[in-house]
């Protein structure tokens, strides 16, 4: 008996198929015609033998030729019908998977960032790519093998009953017998298939991580350790795959072939005994053996596809597990007016895990056009404040507002429409320079792209590239320096003309010369904008209107640079430490 999750998975898979019910019904009707044409052949042969060849004196040559012509016509009709139904069913399966893959991709856009924080990228890629492809095999196996085989078996048994009722009743014992074997096969192989899919997902995650951090692996000579870790996963998958193949070998073609041989021998013995008393014609004997031989081909086809179908069912459960996660709908941006940019945190508390707050009673206000700097050691809560402001997470308590309106009342798209962000590790997409600035936003013209690059000081190096603004950018922008990538990401934020600009440690990977360019550009673009800066280099925030010093999730000091230096507290010590390191380095 299926458990509720299996019933739910089967029901949802059927739901996807019902979108194309008329196409599937049409294909099945064509299939019935094709099967009927195929199964008419042995009966025509039986008629030729019994009515035209067996009687003394021979038969009517014209009638024989007519029956042979009918036989050839049925073969042609069956061939055309099989091609048509196969094309319809398999193209339908592809359309179903296309829809499922898009539904999965849409839902991933809705899932909160917390899921991505705790899930390896490779596993998510495996769900979208590998598991949906496995589900495709399920639909194609089911519709191209299971359904076809069921229709063929139905037609064969109808023909058997027409020929000999008693022997046909005996042959009816075969389907329940094979069904029991299939149940046993599925029961034991699912354990191994589940482990195999899990290990494949783990290997994808590890491969993805290894490629991303390959410089670190090589620099710290971790190649052999990484290979050993991968070998453990690979070997576990191999061991379970061998076990699954063992179950398949014992319960598929071998047992079907053995049972088929025994049943055929029993039928031959039965007809041989009947022929001694002349109660059976040779034509019926030939037709019955022909139809009997055809019983086992659909059953073998089902067994051959059982593993694929079960693997696909396991994959479908994983896909639907993601699609069942709670997510927020991606709303349209709407017509929310451009905010002034007044940001206020009022006694905000937040934690990524229940009972482990990373922010405790955070309160501050950034007025229009002000620059607010957040400083503190790693883990003090700086990035968490930005994540809350962008609506990536919801505060546990307290309120965050923009222009006096609680940000939870905005749609996420409307909230972020007038925010620009530059991260410490700038990400560039595969495309060209101008695309990485405009991101295909129709409202941003090429002139605006050039102006944004010019404002951040990136225009000189871009124009020196072989293709200028059309210069191709490979994935992650690895052909550009970190400073160049950072300048392009600055230009991207500025091109969208945000009212709130967020710099998340954006100058941490910039050299001193590039930092000077960015500082100069910020003086221009921050005018009229509220700017929040997370800074490691305290020298970059000397001109900030307000500096918030965080320690263990709380604001322990606040004020401008001069006020905090005069206080000689935590900020003073941090600044002196950095200044000292700079001096010693020189």
Structural domain boundaries in the chain: 4-323
Q: Are 130 and 204 in contact (CB under 8 A)?
A: yes
Q: Residue 366's pLDDT is what?
A: 93
Mean predicted lDDT score pLDDT of the chain: 81
Q: Residue 334's pLDDT is what?
A: 54
- The answer to whether residue 349 scores a pLDDT higher than 90 is yes
The number of angstroms, rounded, from the C-alpha of 423 to the middle of its chain's C-alpha atoms is 26
Q: Residue 510's pLDDT is what?
A: 60
What are 530-555's pLDDT values in tens digits? 999 988 778 778 888 999 999 999 99
| Order of strands, sheet of 397-402, starting from the edge strand that comes earlier in the sequence | 359-366, 343-350, 397-402, 405-406
Residue 553 DSSP SS3: coil
Topology of domain 4-323, CATH: ABC transporter transmembrane region fold (1.20.1560)
Q: Residue 278's pLDDT is what?
A: 54
Q: Are 243 and 169 in contact (CB under 8 A)?
A: no
For the chain, give the percent of residues with pLDDT over 90.
15
Residue 306 DSSP SS3: helix
Q: What's the CA angle centered on 300, arms 297 and 302, to 5 degrees?
A: 110
Distances (CA, A) of 100 to 39, 104, 123, 141: 37, 6, 18, 17
CA dihedral 95, 100, 105, 107 (to 10 degrees): 140
DSSP annotation string for 53-74: ISSTT---HHHHHHHHHHHHHH
The widest CA-to-CA distance across the chain, in whole angstroms, is: 126
Pairwise CA distance, residues 319 & 200, whole Å: 15
Q: Are 574 and 536 in contact (CB under 8 A)?
A: no
- The answer to whether residue 37 scores a pLDDT higher than 80 is yes
Pairwise CA distance, residues 390 & 417, whole Å: 10
pTM: 0.64
Q: Are 157 and 168 in contact (CB under 8 A)?
A: yes
- The answer to whether residue 92 scores a pLDDT higher than 80 is yes
């Amino acid at each position: 008996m299926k458990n509720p999750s299996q019933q739910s998975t089967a029901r949802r898979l059927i739901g996807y198929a019902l979108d194309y019910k008329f196409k599937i019904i049409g294909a099945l009707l064509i299939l019935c015609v094709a099967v009927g044409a195929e199964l008419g052949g042995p009966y025509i042969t039986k008629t030729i033998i019994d009515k035209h060849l067996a009687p003394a004196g021979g038969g009517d040559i014209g009638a024989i030729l007519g029956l042979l012509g009918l036989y050839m016509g049925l073969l042609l009709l069956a061939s055309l019908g099989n091609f048509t139904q196969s094309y319809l069913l398999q193209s339908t399966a592809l359309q179903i998977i296309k829809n499922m893959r898009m539904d999965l991709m849409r839902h991933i856009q809705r899932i909160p960032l917390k899921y991505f924080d705790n899930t390896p990228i490779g596993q998510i890629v495996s769900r979208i790519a590998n598991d949906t492809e496995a589900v495709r095999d399920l639909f194609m196996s089911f519709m191209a093998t299971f359904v076809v085989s069921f229709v063929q078996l139905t037609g064969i048994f109808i023909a058997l009953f027409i020929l000999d009722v008693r022997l046909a009743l005996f042959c009816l014992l075969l389907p329940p017998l094979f069904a029991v074997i299939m149940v046993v096969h599925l029961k034991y192989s699912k354990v191994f298939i589940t482990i195999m899919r899990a290990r494949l997902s783990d290997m994808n995650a590890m491969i993805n991580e290894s490629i991303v951090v390959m410089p670190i692996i090589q620099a710290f000579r971790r190649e052999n350790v990484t290979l050993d870790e991968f070998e453990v996963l690979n070997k576990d998958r191999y061991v379970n795959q061998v076990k699954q193949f063992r179950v398949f070998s014992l319960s598929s073609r071998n047992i079907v072939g053995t049972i088929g041989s025994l049943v055929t021998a029993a039928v031959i013995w039965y007809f041989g005994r009947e022929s001694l008393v002349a109660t059976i014609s040779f034509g019926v004997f030939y037709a019955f053996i022909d139809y009997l031989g055809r019983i086992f081909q659909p059953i073998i086809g089902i067994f051959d596809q059982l593993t694929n179908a079960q693997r696909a069912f396991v994959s479908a459960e994983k896909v639907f597990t993601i699609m069942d996660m709670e997510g927020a709908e991606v709303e349209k941006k709407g017509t929310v007016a451009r905010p002034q940019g007044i940001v206020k945190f009022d006694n905000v508390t937040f934690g990524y895990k229940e009972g482990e707050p990373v922010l405790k009673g955070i309160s501050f206000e950034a007025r229009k056009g002000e620059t607010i700097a957040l400083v503190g050691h790693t883990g003090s809560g700086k990035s968490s404040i930005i994540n809350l402001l962008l609506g990536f997470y919801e505060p546990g308590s307290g309120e965050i507002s923009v222009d006096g309106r609680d940000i939870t009342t905005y749609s996420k798209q409307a909230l972020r429409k007038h925010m620009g962000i530059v991260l410490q590790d700038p990400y560039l997409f595969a495309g060209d320079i101008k695309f990485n600035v405009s991101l295909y936003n129709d409202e941003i013209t090429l002139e605006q792209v050039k102006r944004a690059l010019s404002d951040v000081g990136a225009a000189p190096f871009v124009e020196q590239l072989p293709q200028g603004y059309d210069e191709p950018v490979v994935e992650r922008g690895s052909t550009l320096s970190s400073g160049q990538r950072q300048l392009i990401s600055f230009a991207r934020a500025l091109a969208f003309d945000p009212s709130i600009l967020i710099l998340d440690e954006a100058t941490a990977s910039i050299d001193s010369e590039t930092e000077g360019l960015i500082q100069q550009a910020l003086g221009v673009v921050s005018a009229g904008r509220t700017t929040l800066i997370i800074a490691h280099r305290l020298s970059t925030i000397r001109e900030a209107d307000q500096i918030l010093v965080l320690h263990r999730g709380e604001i322990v000091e606040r004020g401008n640079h001069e006020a905090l230096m005069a206080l000689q507290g935590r900020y003073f010590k941090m600044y002196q430490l950095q200044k000292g390191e700079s001096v010693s380095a020189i």
